[in-house]
Amino acid sequence: MPRLFGTDGVRGLANADLTADLALGLAQATAVVLGQGRSAEARRAAGKRPVAVLARDPRVSGDFLAAAVAAGLASSGVDVLDAGIIPTPAAAFLIADIDADFGVMISASHNPAPDNGIKIFARGGRKLPDEVEARIEHHLTEPNLAPTGAGVGRIRRFADAEDRYVVHLLASLPHRLDGIHVVLDCAHGAAAGVSPEVFRDAGATLTIIGNDPDGMNINDGVGSTHLDLLAQAVIENGADIGIAHDGDADRCLAVDADGNIINGDQIMAILAVSMKERGHLTDNTLVATVMSNLGLRVAMDEHGISMVQTKVGDRYVLEEMNEHGFALGGEQSGHVIMSEFATTGDGILTGLHLVSEMARTGKTAAELASVMDVYPQILVNVKDVDRNGIHTDEILAAAVLSAEKELGDTGRVLLRPSGTEQLVRVMVEAADQPTADRLAHALADVVRERLTV
């Protein structure tokens, strides 16, 4: 049986792949696995039930999926605090803030509206390790004891959920945002309520787009995966910076006053240098993935900051940060994790701290982003090939070695098998775009020739 959990929870086409029955069963299995921890047992010893936080983004299928999850949890003896529509990082924060036993977020992040997903967080608002996900999947096929009478859970509204999160975000800021004009793109998503509120409370002047969710327009031409409208709005309004979230607001990308994109690597570089200056960067170390641009490593070297690289996926960044107590990490896509304030990527927190650095230093967004030169990069996906062959084919290995020798210290090559499809990703960075393009397509041809199934 294939794994139900992917790299970020259970995701699929709502009411087709991800049904109400599956959501209910998954909630019941989760209650069995995560409702038996020490905190839950302590509650039971005191005559109380385990507690879970439930939240969702505004896509229309969230209504029935959240209802199914709430029913599954309550029928398994778990009290549910329904926080309604809030960002994923808000849900993670609230789990820790009220010491809940676990939590569930209904969201498909940057995916289009017909999709949805179920993300599960353990106590403390932390993502689940693989082995815990496997235990939940196992219990989906096992009969679960169901309480009756007074043993069933209660479902209540988490009335002050958003207020708690806003107070937390504002308390994290090293500097207010007064005098800075921000265009905020909420992706018609979960950030639509809280992000404008907190940016205004922090002192920013706001222009807002992507802030009218109707259940079907989430991520539709707006947000961190579609930055053209944001760039246009920044230029037309003479704003200082644009901040874009994705559907569940765990990402942040930006554009400067001229509409130039500031990606996740550049945001991490800005924050890393600032945190080092202020003594907040643990061991002067940044955690990023192997897909981060070579320019990030060069910039960190120039500022005396070490860089640890992990496999692709914010969960692997988080694992490295948690294991060693690092303060900052993330991905080029805009998942930025600031562990002093969050247990997962938080797009609103990231945007606030980026704009706060503008206010603190008096520099423009472009000046801050210039801390890092972005090396030309190209990614080519080669489909219908034996993805495992990249580790064993000698001719392909020789072609990679030849490309690396040509690049020297001015670029790099990365071949990576897809985790879900029969394809290989060929990534090349170089000092100039023509060289990157030439080498990437040449290597893709070798992959295609040697590994076609």
Question: Shortest CA distance to 323 belongs to which of 129, 123, 35?
Answer: 129
Residue 5 in any domain: the answer is no
CATH number, position 47: 3.40.120.10
The better pLDDT of the pair 145, 312 is held by 312
The average pLDDT across 278-299 equals 95
Supply the pLDDT for residue 39: 65
The better pLDDT of the pair 299, 37 is held by 299
Q: Give the pLDDT band of residue 310 (cuts 50, 70, 90).
A: very high
Do residues 305 and 275 lie in contact, with contact meaning Cβ atoms separated by under 8 Å? Answer: no
Residue 1 in any domain: the answer is no
Question: Shortest CA distance to 304 belongs to which of 289, 288, 287, 284?
Answer: 284
Do residues 53 and 91 lie in contact, with contact meaning Cβ atoms separated by under 8 Å? Answer: yes
Instruction: Tell me the C-alpha distance between 363 and 444, whole Å.
Output: 42
Catalytic positions = 109
Q: Virtual CA dihedral for 342, 344, 345, 349, nearest 10 degrees?
A: -20
Question: Do 349 and 389 have their domain in common?
Answer: no
Q: Is the pLDDT of residue 321 over 90?
A: yes
> What is the number of other CB atoms lying within 10 angstroms of the CB of residue 38?
9
The average pLDDT across 344-358 equals 97
The residue out of 120, 138, 158 marking a domain boundary is 158
The average pLDDT across 193-207 equals 97
Q: Give the pLDDT band of residue 7 (cuts 50, 70, 90).
A: confident
Strands 336-338 and 328-330: antiparallel
Supply the pLDDT for residue 185: 98
Question: Do 203 and 317 have their domain in common?
Answer: yes
Q: Is the pLDDT of residue 16 over 90?
A: yes
φ, ψ (nearest 5 deg) of residue 181: -95, 115
- Mean pLDDT (the chain) is 94
Chain-centroid distance of CA 69 in Å reads: 22
The average pLDDT across 174-181 equals 96
Strands 423-429 and 10-13: unpaired
| Residue 248, marked binder | yes
Question: Do 142 and 168 have their domain in common?
Answer: no
The average pLDDT across 251-271 equals 97
The residue out of 314, 340, 369 marking a domain boundary is 369
| Residue 109, marked binder | yes
Question: Do 60 and 111 have their domain in common?
Answer: yes
Q: Is the pLDDT of residue 230 over 60?
A: yes
Supply the pLDDT for residue 70: 98
The average pLDDT across 147-164 equals 95
- Domain total in the chain: 3
Q: Give the pLDDT band of residue 126 (cuts 50, 70, 90).
A: very high
Q: Is the pLDDT of residue 43 over 90?
A: no
CATH number, position 429: 3.30.310.50
> What is the number of other CB atoms lying within 10 angstroms of the CB of residue 174?
14
Question: Do 176 and 269 have their domain in common?
Answer: yes
Q: Is the pLDDT of residue 202 over 70?
A: yes
> What is the number of other CB atoms lying within 10 angstroms of the CB of residue 237?
15
Question: Do 280 and 341 have their domain in common?
Answer: yes
pLDDT digits (tens, 9 = 90+) for 65-105: 999 999 999 999 999 999 999 999 999 999 999 999 999 99
**Half-sphere exposure of residue 143, counting CA atoms within 13 Å on the CB side?**
2
Question: Do 399 and 436 have their domain in common?
Answer: yes
Instruction: Tell me the C-alpha distance between 197 and 10, whole Å.
Output: 30
pLDDT digits (tens, 9 = 90+) for 380-416: 999 999 888 888 999 999 999 999 999 998 899 999 8
Question: Do 357 and 388 have their domain in common?
Answer: no
Do residues 168 and 192 lie in contact, with contact meaning Cβ atoms separated by under 8 Å? Answer: no
Q: Is the pLDDT of residue 364 over 70?
A: yes
Q: Is the pLDDT of residue 38 over 80?
A: no
The residue out of 369, 398, 425 marking a domain boundary is 369
Q: What is the 3-state secondary structure (H, E, C) of 199-264?
A: HHHCCCEEEEECCCCCCCCCCCCCCCCCCHHHHHHHHHHCCCEEEECCCCCCCCEEEECCCCEECH
Supply the pLDDT for residue 193: 94
β-pair partners for 412: 429
Do residues 115 and 125 lie in contact, with contact meaning Cβ atoms separated by under 8 Å? Answer: no
Question: Do 245 and 284 have their domain in common?
Answer: yes
Q: State the residue range of the domain holding 116.
A: 10-158
Q: Give the pLDDT band of residue 37 (cuts 50, 70, 90).
A: low
Supply the pLDDT for residue 302: 96
Instruction: Tell me the C-alpha distance between 245 and 242, whole Å.
Output: 10
